[in-house]
Structure 1
Amino acid sequence: MISQSLTLTWRSLIPLKNSPGQLLAMLLQPVFMIVVFVYLFGGAAGGDRSQAVLYMLPGVLVQVALMATIATGMNLATDIGNGVFDRFRTMPIARLSPLAGRILADLVTMLITVTISVLIGYVVGFRVQTSPLEALAGLGLVLLFTMALSWGSAWIGLAAKSVTSMQAMSTAVLLPLTFGSSAFIPATDLPGWLTTWMSINPVSHLAAALRGFMVGGLQAADVWITFGWTAALLALFVPLALRAYNRRVR
């Protein structure tokens, strides 16, 4: 099953070379996010752009990675609607290989998007204040969390009636998680009820952990809470996605 899943991962990645619009979107999304949050709203993070870059870029990396998970559900909904999975069903391959291959492919594109975001961050003045290994550990934590969230996106994509409804549902979930977190602004600058929400929001802990890995001041609690949320998401959404997949592909 592993080799089949990897083959289907490559199958999902090949169309990127013939889709300049999708590649351009991967390039422009981090540029847009960094320009908006660092240059336009940068004063909220400390009063000058250098401090804004240090605080906000980890938050931008987290948001870019989270928003990229929407592609998993959209691509699954598209493939099922086009009958691609019906053709896979007639082939001598493991039943779950197409689903695993789709998620792995989107994880690769997510890694590309995060890498582009880091490079753009360096252009605007961001510098890692810790060791390269710590920075890589932080990025690995982000990818691990978003991989777990991709299973949730896969479940929505398999359960949704159309690509449009899938995108709307995913956006409705992700926007409160990202913008209602401390990824872009300290929780101390906000009203008490919103501070409470931020304290339990997993994205706040993920952004804080990445910031600690890349800038310094890492709190172990943020890492362990992120691991806990990752395990919970996997435990919840993997069975749901597999059940929805089995219902749609018979």
Structure 2
Amino acid sequence: MTSAALTPDSSAVAARPQGGVSWWFSDLWEMTLRNIRYLVRSPEMVLYSLLQPVLFILLFAYVFGGAIEVGGDYVQFLLPGIFVQMALYGSATGTTIGVAAEMRTGLMDRFRSMPMSRTAVLLGRTVSEVFRTVASLAVMVPIGLLMGFRFENGFLPALGGMLLLLLFGHAVSWLGAWIGLSVHSAQAAQAAGGVWVFPFVLISSAFVPTETMPGWLQVYAANSPMTTAVNALRALFTGGPAASDVLQTVAWSFGLIVVFGWLSMRKFESLTAR
């Protein structure tokens, strides 16, 4: 089924009373549901989103794990990094490609021509990516448990870590939205998404301790938002001081939302106004 078939019904949108908070939430709900339905009805996209992090778990745990010294069980070290990597790849690249494709086909122009909130169009896209992350976690967590991973710090810290992960994934999806609005095709969007995501993940504490990197690289790796998010999840899942990394991750997340949310909305308005 094409994305055009999943566009909100224009007569239903026009019939809703406009203005106010309830109108905005109604538009947001419609756009979020529309994007979730598109994901569900595109099984190849869902399969890719679920398969990629599983392959990373198996690859790093069983191929590279024996060669990486972390001072403890590598699976306990690895899984929080894989969770953040999964949220980053799914939310950022998924949003980038989806937004670019809809710009190319003219769907974004159609949304803008309808009597609906402008912010709900892009926000509905980024919120729907949270559900993709939840679906990936529903697959990855049981696999991690089978491999020996344990939430050693209790239920509430683990739940807090999952919520923090969803916030971070939502934040980077706004960066993905801005990139998707800035390129001219879905193919270019896929390439542009990989260009920054790949080094962003590898130059962090996701797979190896940052202390093993060259000194000049440690400065960036130890302070990147990716490392901060991974360290926060490790502390919440397996124990250790968490407050500093959690607060930094929250700050990074809201900073990304504010900056790239604003840039995305400006870009969206300028492109669809042409």
Compute the TM-score of the two structures, normalised by the length of structure 1.
0.93
Deviates more, 1:99-108 or 1:186-195: 186-195
- Counterpart CA distance in 1 for 2:39 and 2:171 is 23
**Offset from partner CA, 1:58-94 (integer Å, 9 cap, x none):** 0010101101121112101111111212222333222
Q: Which residue of 2 aligns with 1:134?
A: 157
Are residue 17 (structure 1) and residue 35 (structure 2) matched? no
- Counterpart CA distance in 2 for 1:229 and 1:100 is 18
Q: CA deviation at 1:3?
A: 1.3
- Counterpart CA distance in 2 for 1:6 and 1:219 is 34
Q: CA deviation at 1:46?
A: 4.0
Q: CA deviation at 1:12?
A: 1.2
Are residue 118 (structure 1) and residue 146 (structure 2) matched? no
Question: Which structure 2 residues correspond to residues 6-155 of structure 1 after superposition, within 5 A?
Answer: 6-46=29-69, 51-68=73-90, 69-155=92-178
Contact 1:209 1:219 in 2 (8 A): yes
Cα 1:235–1:90 shift into 2, 3 Å: closer
Q: CA deviation at 1:47?
A: 7.6
Shift >6 Å, 4+ stretches: none
Which amino acid counterpart does residue 177 of structure 2 have in structure 1?
Answer: A
Cα 1:224–1:112 shift into 2, 3 Å: same
Contact 1:45 1:51 in 2 (8 A): no
Deviates more, 1:58-67 or 1:86-95: 86-95
Which amino acid counterpart does residue 53 of structure 1 have in structure 2?
Answer: V
Question: Which structure 2 residues correspond to residues 188-227 of structure 1 after superposition, within 5 A?
Answer: 188-227=211-250
Cα 1:232–1:97 shift into 2, 3 Å: closer
Unaligned runs of 5+ in 1: none
- Counterpart CA distance in 2 for 1:21 and 1:56 is 27
Deviates more, 1:127-136 or 1:221-230: 221-230
Question: Which structure 2 residues correspond to residues 225-240 of structure 1 after superposition, within 5 A?
Answer: 225-240=248-263
Cα 1:47–1:135 shift into 2, 3 Å: closer
Structure index of larger Rg: 2
Contact 2:178 2:267 in 1 (8 A): yes
- Counterpart CA distance in 1 for 2:152 and 2:69 is 17
- Counterpart CA distance in 2 for 1:214 and 1:45 is 21
Let me know the Cα RMSD of the aligned residues. Answer: 1.8
Q: Which residue of 2 aligns with 1:180?
A: 203
**Offset from partner CA, 1:17-57 (integer Å, 9 cap, x none):** 33221222122112101011111111244489x81110001
Contact 1:30 1:120 in 2 (8 A): no
Q: CA deviation at 1:149?
A: 1.2
Contact 2:27 2:120 in 1 (8 A): yes
SS in 2 for 1:181: coil
- Counterpart CA distance in 2 for 1:96 and 1:223 is 28
Deviates more, 1:188-197 or 1:57-66: 188-197
Unaligned runs of 5+ in 2: 1-23
Which amino acid counterpart does residue 139 of structure 1 have in structure 2?
Answer: M
Contact 2:104 2:184 in 1 (8 A): no
**Offset from partner CA, 1:169-191 (integer Å, 9 cap, x none):** 22211112110001111122222
Contact 2:108 2:272 in 1 (8 A): yes
Identity %: 36
- Counterpart CA distance in 2 for 1:96 and 1:201 is 29
Q: CA deviation at 1:115?
A: 2.8
